Chains A and B, each alone.
Chain A
């Protein structure tokens, strides 16, 4: 698909994660951003608005996060790739409309720059406490895709990937970043426009009077149209049939909602991505994502030097979760050590997928400073000493 060159700032730059995210969105063809100011995501908006004029993109700051996501969904239906950026409290406010986005099968990207703590927390400090919320935050059944970048380069790349996945599966995609990666400044290489792969929207091209908004292709994904193109379609958040009209029976619920879940679950193998380092002979595998994966690698190197056989599994897509790979590794390795900046979220998924074949230890990172890996190293040592598999999640007190 022909990419709009105006959005691609080809070159080698020194950008922060937030700036790279804005550039990634523009490169992917995003032309509508709506947001509400909340640290630590503000720089994404600032960068986007600086570049908006030359690229032909538009930005609107709405009165609260609820209306932000509503506006993004509305704009997406006009054919514009749309995005929003927020943080913990804003993400919580967006939950109802995330459900609407899922039900209307609207492609859009939600970037959550996670920060510390429940409630207002510490707005300027890093956290990874919204990971489970990305999957289960809204009511009802649905499946969602969430990516976790660990560097400004990945912020650029994964934002583009997020747009592609959202167009392919017609589902909102969350980019779960965090305040550390967002404010880190590193080298970012933006390739020429021709080298960037963009997934176009899957449009319906048949007769206008025969358009059925929710008639699904074989892969459970229906075809979209734009407002104003003469289709006179109707969509609703109520449970609906393929015409988009509400029907309040359990058969319709099964017909409408089961494919929402299947369209991701049946394609897990195509969606899931992760990065493994030295896991072939590993006795302990460190599982991490986002900011913590940088420290996992550092600890892995140090542990190897001390003779411990340690590998690293970095999750690129956190949702859907890579059940299969974790189950496979659990049979080979003795233990997993899950490193996250929270009190246990993805570690429960790791426990679920190890099926009792490996110990699962948890390290809450960041207590003593973001780059302090003492707790991680000591957990690796201690879990290696375990003789049998203990049930439940092990947390060593330091």
Chain B
């Protein structure tokens, strides 16, 4: 289905990633945004507040993030595409309800503009340390999808894609952006509405009295209904059967909750999106996502100038993780180099999927800034030279670490 021209503000703009994502949400047909101000995501929410009423989208600033996410899940069950916008600390507060939304197979989009953490951290600067949290943050078993855009244009495009995936697989989709991309101002081309593909919600269209809320179709995803249509829906977070009623026996539990994880795991190939470059004959492959992938470009250039065959694998979808791709590459290369703005998160996934066939070198960064491309280049050099197979993730000592811990950098007078 094509986007509604009323929702799309076609044109060429010079805007930042946050605002771009807001426009993307409205273009995708999002009609409800429940948010709470948290730096550095406030611009996205404000963009929706300004433009939303003009296209018939509702927004509300709730009293806290728990209220925001709860309102978003509720709005989704009222039949509208909904979204919330937050950052690290807010994301942590939303965990219980994210699990609730995943359990109820509620489609919604969560935009997380990551910042330096943990705790209050550095609110105004970037970080990428919520990646594992987006997968495992809530309790119990569930699977969801996470996307990592690296430019304001991608913020627009992938927000639309996030809504489409959410509707397609009836699950929460996280857009794991970061402050650097969120506050970066670049050219964004918003195309005509009929060039934008929008996935409509798959509603049930059979007889009312035969409706079973959690009876899946062949692709393991059940069609949805919405409150107010006469289905007398019962929705509970307790483990439930097809009718939505709670069950107490362990035996049935597996049938209903296993499907929650299977519907993503078995459809992985359709969901995963990667951008590969020059990996065929590479000795070293950079695995990166978000802003780090842009910084890595410079590091790769420098390394190639030195004659090293470097390939690049950019994870557009970070979850579900591309296990098979990493395992395949590990067979032919010497090492992976993973630059991330954290002290090791996706690097452990790369370690897991390489099954000991390639070294894994992490180029960490605490946050509140981006990598120094020289560090990435040096790590690539080291990776290419290292002949031994070393078990475990090798943490590369960056110039910043040396500066702070070995050269006695004075933080204050």
Contact = CB atoms under 8 A, between A and B. Distances in A.
Interface of A: 66, 88-89, 91-93, 95-96, 98-100, 102-104, 114, 116-123, 125, 127, 129-130, 132-133, 135-142, 236-239, 241, 243, 245, 247-258, 260-261, 323, 327, 342-345, 348-349, 351-352, 354-357, 364, 366-370, 391-392
5 contacts: A103-B120, A117-B238, A139-B89, A250-B369, A367-B253
B366 A253 contact: yes
B183 interface: no
Contact of A247 (B130, B133, B260, B411): B411
B96 A250 contact: no
B348 interface: yes
B118 A137 contact: no
B103 A119 contact: yes
Given A122-B239, A239-B368, 19 more contacts: A88-B139, A89-B139, A93-B96, A117-B257, A121-B103, A130-B140, A133-B139, A138-B118, A139-B117, A139-B118, A141-B118, A141-B345, A249-B368, A250-B125, A252-B411, A255-B411, A257-B117, A354-B356, A369-B250
B238 A136 contact: no
A327 B356 CA distance: 10
B62 interface: no
Nearest to A328: B391
A348 B412 CA distance: 43
Contacts of B88: 99, 139-140
B141 A343 contact: yes
Contacts of A370: 250
A129 to B, nearest CB: 4
B154 interface: no
Contacts of B250: 116, 125, 366-370
A118 B92 CA distance: 16
Interface of B: 66, 88-89, 91-93, 95-96, 99-100, 102-104, 114, 116-125, 127, 129-130, 132-133, 135-142, 236-239, 246-248, 250-251, 253-254, 257-258, 260-261, 323, 327, 342-345, 348, 351-352, 354-357, 365-369, 391-392, 400-401, 403-405, 409, 411-412
Which residue of A117, A136, A243 has the most chain B CB atoms within 10 A of its CB atom?
A117
Contacts of A119: 99-100, 102-104, 140, 237-238
A253 B89 contact: no
Contacts of B118: 99, 102-103, 138-142, 257, 260
A142 B248 CA distance: 37
Which residue of B104, B117, B139, B142 has the most chain A CB atoms within 10 A of its CB atom?
B139
Contacts of A354: 355-356
Contacts of B93: 66, 93, 95-96
B116 A343 contact: no
Contacts of B129: 139-141
Contacts of A349: 352
A120 B247 CA distance: 12
Contacts of A114: 139
A121 B140 contact: yes
Which residue of A132, A137, A140, A238 has the most chain B CB atoms within 10 A of its CB atom?
A140
